[in-house]
């Protein structure tokens, strides 16, 4: 871990309330000092909105103006809430509640349910889709996967706009909503869905807010109790507030006005769920005495990244776009955004993984890199490509770290050892704190090398390894710290939900990336159909997609790469086109791209190769050989999933794998991994080993055609693998590089 990351993990807490203000520019400071009455901050991405409100809270608390327990800060994702708790703690305001609307409401609901309704709160449904499918079946409607998704979103929209089933058809007509299906039929499925929920005694995500709103409306005693607890409210990402969340906020506030909201209308990306930037943009109308502050200095991104972000917004239309603010970068110049066109998706994933490996080699920590895509289903191929390239990655949001079972168990073990002090025989040989932690966690499954394969065992190991790293960082930051100090630190972090950085590349959807930032960001899959997504049809939906891309671009501090693939599978028809949103911004993409608009500082520089049109064509001859479409060797179907392509058969088709050979290959891989000091998947992934054990290659030529092998691995491991396949002892030459 770099010293820089260190200081963000264990920074100094400001000495005084005034010192909290030191880290702010004049407008941000104005936000922090406006502690009374309604406050609205309208500002673009990376201008320090989140920073301004966390400092505002910390200043108010540290100066003794607001009691920490009287503040409720709300934001939109668990991860953002975790981030905010972390920042507050670092500013010496740890006692403040920072939650999502959902978790704040759930907590209140759990607490007040016995009093308001009686009995226990019904179980919370994790996913709606199955119940919607059951409801549709009861209504004798057959829905495929996409239709199910559409109906589910309609139900969600209806609920957050507080529309009951009977009113749904009228409500969509009134909102001029473009419905995917017959509104009367959707209304019926919605009604049946609500009935099934009652029958099965479950509640869904939206019910948590609806029920809380219901209780606060009906029970003045309970509303008063909550209002006595919280006097000050702060809302981050306010552009995405839904009518239901706004209603809850109004109920929390009552007739008081200590409300501070911050947002950026150009980052509205949840209107498909019923959210609207109107509450942000009309704040002054609702609160005529509000202090309104605008921020334009962008502290996050280089002028090159900001130039592209401004260019994207320059083409936006609609109400949100009318309120856009031109961003001004405060950072030193960096490389221009890189645009890369690939022949097919696997090539795009491999190319991205290769660039990531190169970036890591130049010193960018893996944890400071993200790959962002439009839909979660795109992750698999990138997981595979990163595993093939030997790059660690993480999909899971870091916010739930302390809730993971293995982390809780590890906590119990560490606490036990701390309590036993010097009397725990486990700690006899441990010289320092990290060694003690390693010794304790080795009883829970930690090993110095990661276990083979992926899945639950690997996940468990990753969590324990993150704890070991945290202990190492802690010991470095606080020399002389004991195991008890560490346990106290872990408790505090668990309370603040501030997980240690998992040192892997982040794979996330654009929606989940909101509010976050990385040194290097890869925006992948930028083709028409994905960006904008096929089901975005109306002008408003298209504009929302454009804003989503804007959110993606503005996540990058320095390195930004945008890529797309012309066909899905190798050898497929190159029928795809790059996203329309980059037209005129990406060099060589049309009229706007000539003078002025597209030509920001360093704009053309990253387009290495200099292939005529200005976009890097990573599929140029010599860089990657074109493969024909990959077909299942059992049933002949054309394969499209990365994992299946690797196996060269459908996952469900019968495997003719030689199990003994597979086991021998795995043992050999373990040995190589140990020898190289790398995780086993860096040698070969499970899927590649399986494909080898199924095809039993007899020559270099046969081996290299197996996906995941490639020329480099052929050189390093080919002789060994072919020997094992031939039933001989491996003993080929090894390249230690």
What are the residues binding ligand ATP (CB under 6 A)?
A: 23-25, 28, 43, 45-51, 264, 267, 299-300, 515, 517, 554
CB of 279 to Mg ion, least distance (A): 17
Q: Taking CB within 5 to 8 Å according to partner kind, which of ligand ATP, Mg ion, none is near residue 299?
A: ligand ATP
If the CB atoms of residues 47 and 463 are measured against ligand ATP, the closer one turns out to be 47
Q: Taking CB within 5 to 8 Å according to partner kind, which of ligand ATP, Mg ion, none is near residue 232?
A: none
CB of 162 to ligand ATP, least distance (A): 28
Residue ranges that bind Mg ion, judged by CB under 5 A: 49-50, 515
237: which 2 tokens?
């990402």
If the CB atoms of residues 437 and 521 are measured against ligand ATP, the closer one turns out to be 521
436: which 2 tokens?
């003690």
Is 405 strand, coil or helix? helix
Nearest to 254 by CA among 207, 212, 217, 206: 217
If the CB atoms of residues 26 and 288 are measured against ligand ATP, the closer one turns out to be 26
Q: Taking CB within 5 to 8 Å according to partner kind, which of ligand ATP, Mg ion, none is near residue 264?
A: ligand ATP
If the CB atoms of residues 25 and 150 are measured against ligand ATP, the closer one turns out to be 25
**Bridge partners, 203 (sequence order):** 124
Q: Taking CB within 5 to 8 Å according to partner kind, which of ligand ATP, Mg ion, none is near residue 300?
A: ligand ATP
- Distance between first and last Cα of the chain: 22
User: What is the rounded distance in angstroms from the CA atom of residue 475 to the CA atom of residue 4?
Assistant: 16
**Cβ-based burial of 510 (10 A; exposed 0-12, middle 13-18, buried ≥19):** buried
239: which 2 tokens?
């552009």
Q: Which residues contact 397 (CB under 8 A, 6 or more apart)?
A: 77, 78, 79, 512
Q: Which residues contact 171 (CB under 8 A, 6 or more apart)?
A: 158, 161, 163, 177
CB of 265 to ligand ATP, least distance (A): 11
If the CB atoms of residues 370 and 386 are measured against ligand ATP, the closer one turns out to be 370
Nearest to 209 by CA among 166, 254, 251: 251
CB of 287 to Mg ion, least distance (A): 21
Q: Which residues contact 294 (CB under 8 A, 6 or more apart)?
A: 27, 41, 42, 43, 325
Sign of the CA dihedral running 420, 422, 428, 434: positive
Hunting for tokens 């209308």 — which residue is that? Answer: 265
User: What is the rounded distance in angstroms from the CA atom of residue 151 to the CA atom of residue 164?
Assistant: 15
Bond prior to 486 in cis (omega within 30° of 0) = no
If the CB atoms of residues 309 and 703 are measured against ligand ATP, the closer one turns out to be 309
362 to 168, 359, 580, 594: CA distances (angstroms): 55, 5, 33, 33
Q: Under a CB-based contact definition with an 8 Å cutoff, are residues 560 and 521 in contact?
A: yes
CB of 291 to ligand ATP, least distance (A): 17
Hunting for tokens 């109004």 — which residue is that? Answer: 250
CB of 273 to Mg ion, least distance (A): 19
If the CB atoms of residues 43 and 88 are measured against ligand ATP, the closer one turns out to be 43
If the CB atoms of residues 100 and 436 are measured against Mg ion, the closer one turns out to be 100
366: which 2 tokens?
């893996």
If the CB atoms of residues 24 and 280 are measured against ligand ATP, the closer one turns out to be 24
CA 351 to chain centre: 21
CB of 266 to ligand ATP, least distance (A): 9
Hunting for tokens 């080929």 — which residue is that? Answer: 732
**Cβ-based burial of 602 (10 A; exposed 0-12, middle 13-18, buried ≥19):** middle
Is 202 strand, coil or helix? strand
Q: Under a CB-based contact definition with an 8 Å cutoff, are residues 116 and 219 in contact?
A: yes
Phi, psi dihedrals of residue 215, rounded to the nearest 5°: -65, -45
CB of 262 to ligand ATP, least distance (A): 7
If the CB atoms of residues 330 and 482 are measured against ligand ATP, the closer one turns out to be 330
If the CB atoms of residues 216 and 370 are measured against ligand ATP, the closer one turns out to be 370
If the CB atoms of residues 236 and 545 are measured against Mg ion, the closer one turns out to be 236
CB of 399 to ligand ATP, least distance (A): 16
Q: Taking CB within 5 to 8 Å according to partner kind, which of ligand ATP, Mg ion, none is near residue 51?
A: ligand ATP
If the CB atoms of residues 49 and 666 are measured against Mg ion, the closer one turns out to be 49
CB of 236 to ligand ATP, least distance (A): 7
Q: Taking CB within 5 to 8 Å according to partner kind, which of ligand ATP, Mg ion, none is near residue 25?
A: ligand ATP
Nearest residue to ligand ATP, by Cβ distance, number only = 48
CB of 297 to ligand ATP, least distance (A): 7
If the CB atoms of residues 550 and 603 are measured against ligand ATP, the closer one turns out to be 550
Helix, strand, coil shares, percent, the chain, to 5: 50, 10, 35
User: What is the rounded distance in angstroms from the CA atom of residue 343 to the CA atom of residue 232?
Assistant: 54
524 to 290, 427, 508, 528: CA distances (angstroms): 41, 48, 11, 12
CB of 554 to Mg ion, least distance (A): 10
Hunting for tokens 């409801």 — which residue is that? Answer: 135
Query: DSSP letter at 336?
Result: P
If the CB atoms of residues 264 and 341 are measured against ligand ATP, the closer one turns out to be 264
Query: DSSP letter at 533?
Result: B
Secondary element (H or E) of residue 561: strand 556-567
Q: Under a CB-based contact definition with an 8 Å cutoff, are residues 694 and 707 in contact?
A: no
Hunting for tokens 């009113």 — which residue is that? Answer: 167
């Amino acid at each position: 871990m770099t010293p820089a990351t260190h200081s963000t993990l264990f920074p100094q807490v400001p000495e005084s309330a005034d010192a909290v203000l030191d880290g702010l520019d004049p407008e941000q400071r104005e936000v922090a000092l406006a502690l009374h009455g309604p406050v609205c901050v309208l500002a673009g991405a990376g201008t320090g909105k989140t920073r301004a409100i966390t400092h505002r809270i910390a200043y108010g608390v540290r100066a003794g103006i607001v009691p920490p327990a009287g503040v409720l800060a709300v934001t939109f994702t668990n991860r953002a809430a975790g981030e905010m708790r972390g920042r507050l703690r670092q500013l010496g305001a740890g006692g403040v509640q920072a939650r999502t609307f959902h978790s704040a409401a759930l907590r209140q609901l759990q607490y007040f349910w016995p009093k308001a309704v009686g009995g226990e709160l019904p179980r919370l449904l994790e996913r709606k889709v199955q119940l919607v499918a059951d409801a549709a079946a009861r209504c004798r409607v057959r829905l495929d996967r996409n239709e199910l998704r559409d109906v589910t979103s309609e139900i969600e929209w209806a609920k957050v706009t507080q529309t009951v089933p009977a009113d749904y058809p009228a409500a969509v007509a009134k909102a001029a909503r473009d419905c995917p299906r017959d509104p009367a039929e959707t209304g019926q499925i919605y009604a049946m869905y609500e009935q099934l929920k009652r029958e099965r005694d479950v509640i869904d995500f939206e019910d948590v807010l609806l029920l809380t709103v219901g209780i606060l409306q009906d029970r003045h005693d309970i509303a008063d109790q909550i209002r006595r607890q919280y006097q000050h409210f702060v809302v981050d990402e306010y552009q995405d507030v839904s009518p239901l969340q706004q209603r809850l906020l109004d109920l929390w506030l009552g007739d008081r006005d200590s409300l501070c909201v911050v947002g950026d209308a150009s980052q509205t990306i949840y209107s498909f769920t019923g959210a609207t930037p109107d509450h942000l943009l009309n704040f002054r109308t609702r609160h005529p005495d509000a202090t309104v502050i605008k921020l334009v200095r962008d502290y996050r991104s280089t002028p090159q990244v900001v130039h592209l972000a401004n260019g994207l917004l320059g083409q936006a239309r609609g109400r949100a776009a009318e309120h856009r603010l031109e961003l001004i970068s405060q950072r030193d110049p960096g490389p221009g955004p890189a645009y890369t066109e690939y022949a097919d998706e696997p090539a795009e994933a491999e190319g991205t993984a290769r660039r990531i490996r190169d970036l890591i080699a130049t010193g960018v920590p893996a944890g400071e890199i993200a790959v962002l895509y439009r839909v979660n289903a795109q992750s698999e191929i990138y997981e595979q490509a990163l595993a093939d390239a030997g790059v660690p990655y993480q999909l899971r949001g870091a916010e739930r770290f302390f809730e993971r079972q293995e982390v809780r168990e590890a906590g119990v073990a560490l606490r036990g050892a701390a309590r036993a002090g010097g009397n725990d025989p486990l700690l006899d040989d441990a010289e320092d704190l990290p060694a003690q932690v390693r010794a304790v966690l080795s009883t829970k499954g930690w090993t110095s090398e990661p276990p083979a394969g992926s899945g639950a065992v690997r996940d468990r190991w990753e969590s324990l390894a993150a704890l070991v790293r945290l202990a190492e960082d802690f010991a470095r930051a606080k020399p002389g710290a004991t195991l008890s100090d560490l346990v106290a630190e872990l408790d505090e972090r668990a309370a603040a939900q501030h997980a240690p950085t998992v040192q892997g590349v982040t794979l996330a959807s654009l929606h989940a990336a909101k509010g976050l930032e990385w040194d290097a960001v890869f925006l992948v899959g930028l083709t028409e159909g994905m960006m904008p997504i096929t089901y975005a049809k109306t002008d408003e939906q298209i504009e929302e997609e454009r804003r989503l891309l804007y959110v993606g671009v503005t996540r990058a501090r320095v390195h930004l790469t945008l890529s797309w693939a012309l066909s899905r599978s190798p050898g497929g028809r190159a029928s795809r086109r790059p996203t329309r949103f980059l037209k005129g911004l990406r060099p060589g993409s049309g009229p706007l791209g000539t003078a002025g608009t597209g030509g920001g500082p360093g704009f053309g520089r990253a387009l290495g190769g200099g292939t005529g049109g200005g976009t890097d064509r990573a599929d140029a001859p010599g860089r990657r050989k074109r493969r024909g479409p990959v077909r299942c060797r059992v049933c002949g179907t054309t394969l499209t999933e990365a994992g299946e392509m690797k196996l060269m058969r459908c996952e469900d088709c019968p495997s003719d794998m030689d199990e003994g050979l597979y086991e021998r290959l795995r043992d050999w891989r373990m040995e190589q991994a140990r020898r190289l000091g790398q995780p086993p998947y860096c040698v070969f992934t499970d899927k590649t080993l399986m494909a080898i054990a199924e095809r039993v290659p007899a020559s270099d030529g046969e081996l290299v055609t197996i996906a995941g092998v490639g020329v480099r691995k052929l050189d390093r491991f080919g002789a060994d693998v072919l020997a094992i396949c031939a039933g001989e002892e491996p003993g080929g030459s090894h390249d230690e590089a």
